Structure 1
Amino acid sequence: MKNIVNIAYSYHNSNKGITRIWTTLPMDHPDVTCTHSPEEKTIDDGNNELFYFTLKENEQFQMNYSIDTYKQNEQKMLTDKEKAFYLRSGTLVVVDEQMRNLAHEITAGAVTTMEKAKAIFNYTVTQYKYVYPPKGRGTKSFLQAKQGDCGEYSFLFSSLCRSIGIPCRTLIGSWANGKMGAHVWNELYDEQAGWVPVDCSLASLQKKKKFQFLFSNIRTLKWTAYFGQLEGQRVVFSYDAELYLSPKYNDLDKLTIVNSPYPPIAPFQIDGEPFYWGYEAVDGCAPYLQPVYMQFDQENLSLKPNKNEHNYLGKWKITETGAQGVFLKLKNWSYAAFFVFFTLSLLLSSPLVSALAAGSIIVTCISYIARKERILLFTFVTLYFLLFFMSNVIKLV
């Protein structure tokens, strides 16, 4: 069953000079509306399509497209290139002796690929703490700090799986509703099941902070279910981190950056060193494409750095369609109506106003249920307010 969403992405070059941009957005697909054509396209060994283009000062890039939400890929065979790509070691996802020893310790007694991966999942979920934003990015930072966000959970899971020969990739994407809902999760490869979805960070939050998403527009699962299944409310921008950038990324020398009149923002550290987003790459790769990575003109180092997140990621908005979209709007409208009528009920002793407040929250709860968000909880709340609604209707009769 398809769950189509509409994605609107834009980037405004508010910087000085030319900004070079790489993206995994589907710029050359026939059903896409886009202000620019890619100047170059490359396909890497993991089958990621990377597009390259440039923006002049104050130039605006806009793109609109529709896509089905993420679903499990049941691909049963990998080419040698694909397998090597998703077993490789990098700067953020490290495969070395330390990781191999840790992975073997975690999976002791496990036999099958799925048993080993499940052991790694349980370890990652239980032994680390979700904290945003992290001070450092990558496996080694996460191991040391014992805390990080969805990216760090995903990097560690990939590292541990790859260390014992299980192809694994980090999925860079977004929640499938609202603005700028960035998220990262994993897929591991099993010959019988294909690519199996795993979300360690959501599992950790559901295990340790059960009410984190209580009133959100995101469905939630029991924490153990995040190994092997997801809720169907996300889209993928790129498959894996550390994707090689072509044309070649021309890193600026660290000393040039640090000694500039206005050193740029370093949003995090990699291997204990500040990483300057937009001025350097990770061994020729973007740390991740969500859904873009860029290189600013060196001229910008003579200006105060732009602290707006849109300067580094652009903007995106994802709108659900069909029944999901209808019930989301209904939920928002009825929730707003509830607050209006509830406030009036505090000022007026009116059964009619109280009935309207109860009716509004009943519609809100039904919308949650229709969207499969905390069904048991909102069924109970619906029944409670239904009794309250009926008691006020009886007063009116």
Structure 2
Amino acid sequence: MKKAFYVRFTYTNTISDNLGIWMVIPYEAGIRGVQPEQVCRLETGEELGYVVLEEGDRMEVGWTQEEYEPRQQLLTEEARTFYLRDTTLSPKEKVREKALELTDHVADPKEKARAIFFHIVEDYRYVYPPQSRGVVSFLETQKGDCGEFSFLFAAMCRSVGIPACTVVGSWAYGKMNAHVWNECYVDGEGWIPVDTSMANVQKRQPLRFFSSDVPTLYWKKYFGQTEGRRIVFSLDAEPPLVPSYEEVEDPLYVNAMPINGQSFCWGQQSLDGAAPYLQPIYIKMDHVPERDLSVTELLGSWKVKGPALLEGTSYIKKATFFIGIISVVLSFFMDRVVFDALFTGAFAFYSLSCLLRKERVMVFGILFILMILSFSAAVDKIVS
């Protein structure tokens, strides 16, 4: 049975007399506060809503979303053209020569995509935050975050005729844990999930997610598979904005975000009429404060709540890990046997929580057995 997650997004306009907001409206979402003035259908099949908030107005969107799986729809010719398009963040011509070099010896489209996956994972490095957004900058520095990894994969796939998209979303736990990955389309198989940035991290920094609530896979499995514990905000980057975006002729350089080395002012400009991405919103200010804005002023705030088992074991994980660490420290100053029992018991519960959550099963399975054995030995010493 698929897990279902509840997502709650909120935004309060504290920065402009009137603020335009574009957001993909999830299926059966409940909207409180100001309602969309206009809704249109994107090429991705999603509904794009446009909301205008006066200063002080608030909107709240809540919806339930099942754990992520790639789409199953067949690709129409019109959609194929859309997912092969050239964009600012994923320019095909910049990468075509390299992509052809990587894939010319391969006939099967899926194996072409796999060759691109291995190249990006092995030749680039995950760094957050990136110096600049977009493929052009990523090619120069070979350093970027999940966005740059995804933009490059999409560009390379598209340049050799493989439809691809950049999926913009979030990890399915806690507050504002943004993430971006890809899907590519192969005739006869459908949409295939690909996560080059997670593969890169798991290959180069395998302990990075060790204590997080994100279950992880062996790095090669991120071609064709994900752990599922993520939600989707929009099914591609650079969605065209309706109503059309009115450009600011002389933007104030606040919240300037370099894209391909050129300054881009978030909330004042568009990329040829498109938002860079919807995570989950893009804004348009009619009055620009002369200061950099906070993340919540730019993107709003979202929180993801999972099923009772995941939520409950998350609290147990945090509590038992804290108890275990404190017990280790105290064992150096007080009765060592008692605190040995306390910390081994705490870490046994910590490991069990991770196992129930299906996080790094082999590692925590071994740790659970070791902690149970150590806990039993410590209790025997106390009793005797």
SS in 1 for 2:95: helix
Counterpart residue number, 2:363: 377
Gaps of 5+ in 2: none
Q: Residue 33 of structure 1: CA displacement?
A: 4.8
8 Å CA contact 2:19, 2:283 repeated in 1? yes
8 Å CA contact 1:5, 1:69 repeated in 2? yes
SS in 2 for 1:243: coil
Aligned match for 1:211, one of 207, 221, 229: 207
Aligned match for 2:262, one of 270, 273, 278: 273
Counterpart residue number, 2:33: 35
Q: Give the aligned residue type for 2:261.
A: G
SS in 1 for 2:263: strand
8 Å CA contact 1:25, 1:291 repeated in 2? no
Q: Residue 35 of structure 1: CA displacement?
A: 2.4
Aligned match for 1:228, one of 224, 245, 248: 224
Please state if 1:283 is matched with 2:272. yes
Rounded to whole Å, the distance in 2 between the matches of 1:332 and 1:271 is 40
Counterpart residue number, 1:3: 3
Aligned match for 1:83, one of 76, 80, 89: 80
SS in 2 for 1:270: coil
Rounded to whole Å, the distance in 2 between the matches of 1:305 and 1:126 is 39
Counterpart residue number, 1:48: 46
Rounded to whole Å, the distance in 1 between the matches of 2:273 and 2:199 is 32
Rounded to whole Å, the distance in 2 between the matches of 1:150 and 1:373 is 21
Rounded to whole Å, the distance in 1 between the matches of 2:32 and 2:69 is 25
Matches within 5 A, 1:1-397: 1-26=1-26, 29-30=27-28, 32-75=30-73, 77-96=74-93, 98-253=94-249, 256-258=250-252, 263-266=253-256, 268-297=257-286, 299-300=287-288, 303-349=289-335, 351-397=337-383
8 Å CA contact 1:172, 1:289 repeated in 2? yes
Gaps of 5+ in 1: none
8 Å CA contact 1:46, 1:81 repeated in 2? no
User: What TM-score do you get using the length of structure 1 for normalisation?
Assistant: 0.92
Rounded to whole Å, the distance in 2 between the matches of 1:249 and 1:61 is 21
Rounded to whole Å, the distance in 1 between the matches of 2:28 and 2:217 is 36
8 Å CA contact 2:245, 2:273 repeated in 1? yes
Rounded to whole Å, the distance in 1 between the matches of 2:37 and 2:72 is 33
Rounded to whole Å, the distance in 2 between the matches of 1:130 and 1:31 is 34
Deviates more, 1:342-351 or 1:227-236: 342-351
User: What TM-score do you get using the length of structure 2 for normalisation?
Assistant: 0.95
Rounded to whole Å, the distance in 2 between the matches of 1:34 and 1:3 is 25
Deviates more, 1:304-313 or 1:361-370: 304-313
CA deviation profile, 1:196-226 (whole Å, cap 9, x unmatched): 0000011111111111111111111111100
Taking only the aligned residue pairs, the percentage that are identical comes to: 37
Pairwise CA RMSD: 1.6
Q: Give the aligned residue type for 2:92.
A: V
